[in-house]
Chain A
Amino acid sequence: MATETLTGAQALIRSLELLGVDTVFGLPGGAILPTYDPLMDSKKLRHILVRHEQGAGHAAEGYAAASGRLGVCIATSGPGATNLVTAIADAHMDSVPMLAITGQVNSFSIGTDAFQEADIVGITMPITKHSFLVTRAEDIPGVVAAAYEIATTGRPGPVLIDFAKDAQNGKFEFSWPPKIDLPGFRPITDPHGKQVQAAAELILKSHKPILYVGGGVIRADASKELLALAELLHAPVTTTLMARGAFPDSHPQHLGMPGMHGTVPAVTALQKSDLLITLGARFDDRVTGDIKSFAKGAKVIHVDIDPAEIGKIRHADVPIVGDAKVVILMLIAELKAQMKDSKPDYEDWWVFLNGLKERYPLGYNETEDGKLSPQYVIQRIGELSGPEAIFAAGVGQHQMWSAQFIKYERPNSWLNSGGLGTMGYAVPAAMGAKVAQPDRLVWAIDGDGCFQMTNQELATCTINNIPIKVAIINNSSLGMVRQWQTLFYNSRYSNTDLNTGTDTIMVPDFVKLGEAYGCLAIRVEKIEEVDAAIKLAMETNDRPVVIDFIVGRDAMVWPMVPSGISNDAVQYARDAAPIWDGDE
């Protein structure tokens, strides 16, 4: 094989190129400087200089979530590396394929508390799928290829590689492809035929099944297969917060999102079901509520590529380890064989479910202070932007409303931080998504609180010509926390006022802030201005746009199941539990 003498740093860049990486988000410093030098000459790698390493991490996540490809971020040792930690933890929780590259002090200085030394491999052990410390240049191609393989295969997740400075500077004979030596890494993608058969039998025996669809279906790129399965069975579908868009919202079989802020039909269908057909979902407590009373009468088919998820929270009657796409295709074939010409009859089930859908649609009340309804603003953004747009949310009320009131028709259009709930995700994730999918319209729907955590990446967007649109749902407060204070702490608002609303001192003024970053920035306070503002944002593509939507602060997210309580107690609105007919 032909070889070439390269430095470790050159080998790192070359390896990334050869793996098909086209974009990296990062910020340099001493320990990673050797790598930034050859990076400057790369024709295949676009480096986007962020303003904070957390932004690089979330941008890599947004890039990955929008495109299904590996997201890459780079930071220097010490504080650069620790600034990545939140984004790495976020990617770990939400199964995002991500590669984090960090510089490290020279290998001979490791352990001496050298300048900007931090044990980032140690720090990130519990929040990465795997991590490597590289101290020799010749190990670089093999480690980078192995990291790529680990991050993108099986259950996706973040992998960190820490490169000692002398490994970046050392020279060696580079050749490609390297040998990948991972004897302990054997993800299972093909399920047991017997289990699939058992699943089909259970499905055809059930009377009240529901497809409980999770983020794994999006990671598996299995939306089409899911649609075919759902239509074959004519069974209802619910999509978790992480799975919004895995099944079209416009489809009559879709009941909406389950869980704490799920729809009454979805929450109730799970509770009353006799069979959960669980596809790439992990029985998160935000979905199940009190686990002992969750879907008590249901048997469980659990499909997941990670064996550790099966039986972790809820016993599975039919456990299936495998890739969701492969499993669904096999299940369809098996069902067709078992069904012959008959179709399962879920008529009574649908009568019940359709009754729920009719009586308890998603809705909201107008605000009492005359300010804009946040739900209305978000709904209009969704309607005017259409199904091809990408929506990245922060964390809080605006996130829940974005999950509820925007209608998702395709996967990889809804990006958010579900497992970790990281405020500050939206702006950098939207930036990463826009870089990955430049032809799609990308919105960051952000809270006034979240926006203040990572808005500096607007500078990155303006300078690198990444025209995202930011809708700040400005309720002048840490709204989600305030909602809990309203409901559970006697409306005692301890430290949730942000003073960003029009009747406050408005620090900061988001319009001025947006303008300072070179964005088109406007404020919207009246319902008549909403559509025009959204359209203006959609037409403006020579710079990012910031719209400061001043909304009522007392709006609340409904429905709601209070934390730790049985899902039977879902509240449709304040003090309004659904009324059950005697016959259910």
Chain B
Amino acid sequence: MSTQHLLSLLVENKPGILTRVAALFARRGYNIESLAVGTTEIEGVSRITVVVSLDGQPLEQVTKQLNKLINVLKIVELEEETSVARDHMLIKVRTDSSTRSQVLEAVTLFRARVIDVVSDAVVIEVTGNAAKCQAFLKVLEPFGIKELVQSGAIAVSRGSKSMSEKVIR
């Protein structure tokens, strides 16, 4: 049975760091479900959010190996109960005069937004946790999803503590 884990990595923003991280997952036989990278509040430090699925392998081995990468500063696993995670999706849905209102109703229900409308399609933007986004997709599916783009999950812990606090600078 495979389980999913969400890892947050603070890394030095050095050339090749994404390759090093991604290649390590591949080489050690771990599957990346999603990956998001961006700069942070600290100059020169980037944050990589990885959702990894494990088929019985220990998560510990991959975090230990990641820690050995010289440019990796810190790794934490964010648990569902103590953190917030968001996915971001852009969805192009087929519509016509008879279905448009139903689609728009779903958009309101899920607190999504319509960002482009033409006669036979709409582009919808939705943010939320993975479960909400999946549920929204289910609702839209019958109308016909022409195109789907999604960012990897990004996540942050709840409360006032910051992940970068103890990272020496």
Select from chain B the residue with minimum beta-carbon distance to A182.
Answer: B70
Chain A residues whose C-beta falls within 8 Å of the C-beta of B60 in the assembled complex: 311
Tell yes or no: B169 within 8 A of A by CB: yes
Contacting pair A183 B58 (CB below 8 A): no
CB-based contact B71/A184 at 8 Å: yes
Which residue of A121, A125, A184, A308 contacts B64 across the interface (Cβ within 8 Å)? A308
Q: In the assembly, what is the distance between CA of A311 and CA of B168, in Å?
A: 28
Q: What is the CB-to-nearest-CB distance from A186 to chain B, in angstroms, rounded to a whole number?
A: 9
B102 within 8 A of A: no
Smallest CB gap from B58: residue in A: A311
Complex Cα gap A208–B69 (Å): 38
Are B19 and A125 interface neighbours, CB within 8 A?
yes
Give Cα A238 to B15, complex, Å: 44
Query: Are A312 and B61 also in contact (CB < 8 A) when A183-B167, A185-B70, A306-B68 are?
Result: yes
Chain B nearest CB from A93 CB (Å) reads 14
CB pair A126 B23 closer than 8 Å: yes
Interface residues of A in 282-330 (CB under 8 A from B): 306-308, 311-312
Nearest A residue to B16 via CB reads A121
Q: Which residues in A have their C-beta under 8 angstroms from that of B72?
A: 184
Expressed in whole angstroms, the minimum distance between the Cβ of B73 and any Cβ of chain A is: 5
- A182 to B60 CA separation, bound complex (whole angstroms): 23
Known pairs A308-B64, A308-B65; A125 contacts B70 (CB<8 A): no
Q: Kindly provide the distance from the CB of B153 to the nearest chain A CB, expressed in whole angstroms.
A: 24
Interface residues in B131-169 (C-beta closer than 8 Å to A): 167-169
Chain B residue at minimum C-beta to C-beta distance from A121 = B16
User: Please, which residue of chain A has its CB at the minimum distance from the CB of B168?
Assistant: A183
> Cβ of B58 and Cβ of A184 under 8 Å apart?
no
Q: Is A336 an interface position by the 8 A CB rule?
A: no
1/0 per residue, CB under 8 A from B, across A180-194: the answer is 001111000000000
Tell me whether A126 and B27 are in contact (CB under 8 A).
Answer: yes
Q: Given the complex, which residues of B lie within 8 Å of A182, measured CB to CB?
A: 70
Residues of A within 8 A of B27 (CB): 126
Q: Nearest B residue to A131 by beta-carbon distance?
A: B16
Is B125 an interface position by the 8 A CB rule?
A: no
Inter-chain contact B70/A307, CB cutoff 8 Å: no
B69 and A184 within 8 A (CB): yes
- The closest CB in chain A to the CB of B11 belongs to A184
Distance between Cα atoms of A307 and B58 in the complex (Å): 14
Expressed in whole angstroms, the Cα–Cα distance for A555 and B58 within the complex equals: 43
Tell me if B111 counts as interface (CB < 8 A to partner A).
no
Q: Is the CB of B61 within 8 A of A184?
A: no
Instruction: State in angstroms the CA–CA spacing of A122 and B71 once bound together.
Output: 15
**B20: Cβ under 8 A from any A Cβ:** yes
Does B77 sit at the interface, judged by CB under 8 A?
no
Residues of A within 8 A of B168 (CB): 183
Contact of A184 among B12, B19, B23, B65 (CB under 8 A): B12
Q: Among B64, B70, B169, point to the contact of A130 (Cβ < 8 A).
A: B70
Does B83 count as interface, using CB distance less than 8 angstroms? no
Which residues on A sit within 8 Å (CB–CB) of B20?
Answer: 125
Q: Is B67 an interface residue (CB 8 A)?
A: yes
- Roughly how many angstroms separate A311 CA and B65 CA in the complex, as a whole number? 12
Residues of chain B lying within 8 A (CB to CB) of residue A129: 68, 70
Contact mask for chain A residues 93-131; partner B; CB cutoff 8 A; 1 contact, 0 none: 000000000000000000000000000011001100110
Candidates B12, B23, B64; contact of A183 at CB < 8 Å: B12
The answer to whether the Cβ of A444 comes within 8 Å of any Cβ in the partner chain is no
Closest to A306 in B: B68
Closest to A315 in B: B58
Contact of A133 with B by CB under 8 A: yes
If A183-B73, A183-B169, A184-B71 touch, whether A307 touches B64 (CB-CB below 8 Å) is yes
- A133 proximity list for chain B (CB < 8 A): 15-16
B98 to chain A, nearest CB (A): 52
Report if A150 contacts B (CB, 8 A): yes
Alpha-carbon gap, A132 to B4, bound state (A): 33
B19 interface neighbour in A122, A130, A306, A311, Cβ under 8 Å? A122
- Min CB gap B116→A, angstroms: 36
CA of A129 to CA of B67, assembled, Å: 12
> Which residues between 10 and 55 of chain B lie within 8 Å of chain A, taking CB atoms?
11-12, 15-16, 19-20, 23, 27
Q: Are B68 and A308 in contact (CB under 8 A)?
A: yes
Interface string of A548-575 (1 = CB under 8 A from B): 0000000000000000000000000000
Task: State whether B12 touches A125 (Cβ < 8 A).
Answer: no
Set of chain B residues within 8 Å of A307, measured between Cβ atoms: 64, 67
Which of B61, B67, B68 lies at the interface centre, i.e. has the most chain A CB atoms within 10 A of its CB? Answer: B68
Q: Which residues of B contact A (CB under 8 A)?
A: 11-12, 15-16, 19-20, 23, 27, 58, 60-61, 64-65, 67-73, 167-169
A-B contact pairs, 7 of them (CB 8 A): A122-B16, A130-B69, A183-B73, A183-B167, A183-B168, A185-B70, A311-B58
Nearest 8 A/B pairs, CB to CB: A308-B64, A130-B70, A184-B73, A185-B70, A308-B65, A184-B72, A307-B64, A184-B70
